[in-house]
Structure 1
Amino acid sequence: MRYLKVIAQDPSGSGQPDSLHFRFYEGEQLLREATALERQRLKALGATYSKCAWYNTGESEERHLRIFSLNPSVDGTPESVRLHFHEGPTIIYKAAVHDLDNDGAFEVILSGDVDNDGYANRTDRNRVRALVREFLTVGW
């Protein structure tokens, strides 16, 4: 399975991430870090991810997001995009979007409290939608 791993770090201890890392994987093998062009395309994804308050204090990489698409019909368009918020190897929570009729629009958005504000609401669904939209712009 191919996925994008997003890691936010707060080495300064300011309470907000100072750095973002975008890494492309195949299974557990790191393929590459995002190129300068990909980093530019992923800028909005990084800004939205920062609002999810899922970052590491210091230089740790334990907390991260793995985002990937599924295309069971093999027609080139994703029917599902999944987001797994990890703490080390453990998935702490998940979110997903589904295109039920394969028309390119996601009809179902499943999410909990992805921004960690204590409420699972429209804001969380909008954050998931934005993360997915920006992920798909990279074409991974």
Structure 2
Amino acid sequence: MPADSWASSAARRRNMQAIRSRDTVPERLVRRLLHAQGLRYRVSARPLPDLRRTADLVFRPAKVAVFIDGCYWHGCPEHYVPPKTNPGYWSGKVAGNMARDRDTNRRLSEAGWLVLRFWEHEPAAACAARIAAEVRERRQRDPGRTSNE
């Protein structure tokens, strides 16, 4: 383990490095369902170029940003369990993620974007149905938008 590592052990470091930040199973399931419905989108893209945050799915012309949040990393009220090892660091990290999520929602909303957030445990079909309905509804309000993102 490198001397400057934040991990408490080599095993913990390997475990943490294996956690995906994009292309998770819940994201891929939702993307597959949306693609099958003919919807096109950007993956892991910045909705606003000057905002250093990426959404899991971005429907640019419709101005819809989709986030599929992990229960642990984003503090799911149903499934988050505070860590037993190094709780000060990890609980602070999760609290910071939650504050950043709220800030991201606010900034995107102020810029006219619809922000849709789902938890990783929510059924992919229900998430995809809501996303598709919102994107189609926004496209109908502004027919000048293209059908492909």
TM-based fold match above 0.5: no
TM-score normalised by L of structure 1? 0.29
Q: Which has the higher contact order (CA 8 A, sep 6+)?
A: 2
Larger radius of gyration between Structure 1 and Structure 2: 2
Considering fraction of residues, name the structure with more strand.
1
- Looking at secondary structure, tell me which structure has more helix per residue: 2
TM-score relative to the length of structure 2: 0.27
